[in-house]
Amino acid sequence: MKKTIILLSILSLTIANQSCSNDYLDTKPTEQIALEDLLGEYNNNEGAESFVTAIYSKYLDWNTSSFAWIGVSSITSDDADKGSSPGDTGSDKDVLDALTFSSTTPSFQDVWEGHYQAINRANQALKYIPLLDQADSSLRERLMGEAKFLRAFSYFILVRSYGDIPLVNRVFDNTEEDRTMVFTRRAKSDIYAFIESDLQAAIAALPDKSAYTGNNIGRASKGAAYALLAKVSLYEKKWQQVVNNCDMVVGYSLTPNFQDIYKVSGENNAESIFEIQGRGGPSQPGIQQYSQVQGARGAGGWGWGFNTPSQSLVNAFDAEGDTERKNATIISKPSTLYDGRVVPATVENDYYNYKAYSSAFTGDDDSDANIRYLRYSEVLLMKAEALNELGQTSNAAIYLNQVRDRAGLANTTASTQSDMRTAIYKERRLELAMEHDRWFDIVRTGQASAAMTANGKTFKVGTHEVFPIPNKFILEAKGLASQNLGY
């Protein structure tokens, strides 16, 4: 049977899918799908699920959640250094660390392509699942909610990273209209409005987290959609919407012991709202080398040694007397880890990322560590920030102190709006350190220039608020798109 495939290389928008399975993390690829097969092979529950399986599986890929993303979201910030050996650049991690990157820096292209590939898979799911009339209608509704959540998730990463970006909201044909859609950058406000629309639709379709059991644990839930919508509102400074959406994130609680969150045994626990699932091990999907590239390097080590916690981050923990979160975030040499692994003095770097550590890592490329993207503690901090901006400083302290209490710290002494704002910003840094948020936080809050100067780097105001659009995209756009200012 003839298969119809559509491709634009910079976005890699192919009609592709994954094998049918009752495990939504199954990533074994099949042939690319022809439209002619839709009402045959795929017209059942497993076929419908396979479209959404394909989206989830994209977040396990090297170009979406691994080395490039680690560099773009973490090594750029004051929380982390390049690490590794001095002569090992990690392709471009040295220029990311120094903030001397350009539009040809490979990691920016990887992240761009990876998330547009995820978006295209979501667009496929949203187009084709409604046609599968032999699949259960309730299942189809939920799957479409998951697809909209995941599409919003990828767009949120892209708009924070690059600013104005193309809004590709459907599977496209080789028409001039569709080419314009793919290569024309839309205003950030348009992207945020689209994200909000997707998340509202996801909220209406998704169940609570408790509805998922067995192989379905970790799927997008109603709570995840509300939490992501709150975070989107935070970036838009829609303070009352932040509060309202945070109030709808129910059924979660703080994990009593902070370090337990990041153990394999703590994955998808009561604090977890949304994680990228990396089961790892023989014949199990894992996030491609996510733990390996951040593992201790050198004699007695187990990884490549990149994305090492900075001295600036160490000092921030020490200044607050925050030993509990420091010891759960930073591996120091020499030391013994919670599972008995010894980190000897012979490893190359002084510090490593504990939150990316996998106790089951035995040298396999794909470990079983998850990436925590939304946790209940962040919901509390978002609500605290929004209440403070609304002038409700004493109420903000209630939610800030819940997070501090879990860390074993005294209640905040901040009483003015300005002091409370500073306290919340500090708390976000310590609570969410090495969780891919710091760079975007200091940009959105106007701290970036001072923070990077204190870390010995130059943040170019008016340029570095967004990353460069990949040069490959600009060339393929053939005049339809221009580069970000300063690149």
The DSSP-derived string for 335-368 is EE-TTS-EE-TTBSSSEEEGGG--TT-SS-SEES
Domains of the chain, start order: 1-206+461-487 (1.25.40.890), 287-369 (no CATH)
Per-residue pLDDT at 16 = 37
- The ranges of the chain with pLDDT < 50 are 1-32
Q: Which amino acid is at 69?
A: W
Asked whether the beta carbons of 7 and 179 are under 8 A apart, the reply is no
Which alpha helices (DSSP H) does 359-483 contain, by range? 376-389, 393-406, 417-431, 438-444, 448-454, 471-477
% of the chain beyond a pLDDT of 90: 85
Tens of pLDDT, residue by residue over 53-91, are: 999 999 999 999 999 999 999 999 999 999 999 999 999
Mean pLDDT of the chain: 91
Q: What three-state secondary structure class fits 152? A: helix
Per-residue pLDDT at 314 = 98
Q: For residue 373, what are its two tokens?
A: 């993207």
Q: Which amino acid is at 316?
A: A
Looking at residue 141, the DSSP 8-state letter turns out to be H
Q: For residue 1, what are its two tokens?
A: 């049977």
Per-residue pLDDT at 36 = 65
